[in-house]
Amino acid sequence: MSHTLTIRLTQELLDWLKETSRRTGIPVGRIVRDQLEIARANGGKQRFLRHLGSIRGGDPNASSRKGFSRT
């Protein structure tokens, strides 16, 4: 594996991942990769995926994170 992805998780999700990892002996990264593979195998049929790319409008400069606003 040579690619890294950084994501922000809620504390609840992080706790669940750590507990699942501890209980099963599977590393957290492997759990996440396995779930992504399942999502891909399902062809993106999860309900939330149908909205990707469909939200329009709003201010394109609305990001408050430094380096992301275009002002």
Q: What is the pLDDT of residue 40?
A: 86
Cut 0.75: pTM above it: no
Cα–Cα distances (Å) from 67 to 7, 61, 71, in that order, read 17, 11, 10
CA dihedral of 59, 61, 66, 70, whole degrees rounded to 10: 180
Copy the structure tokens of residue 27.
């590393």
Q: What is the pLDDT of residue 22?
A: 96
Q: What is the spatial distance between Cα 55 and Cα 11, in angstroms, rounded to a whole number?
A: 27
Helix (H, G, I), strand (E, B) or coil at 68: coil
Q: What is the pLDDT of residue 15?
A: 95
What pLDDT tens digit does each residue of the chain (71 aa) get?
A: 688 889 899 999 999 999 999 999 999 999 999 988 888 888 766 566 555 555 566 566 655 666 655 55
Q: What is the pLDDT of residue 39?
A: 84
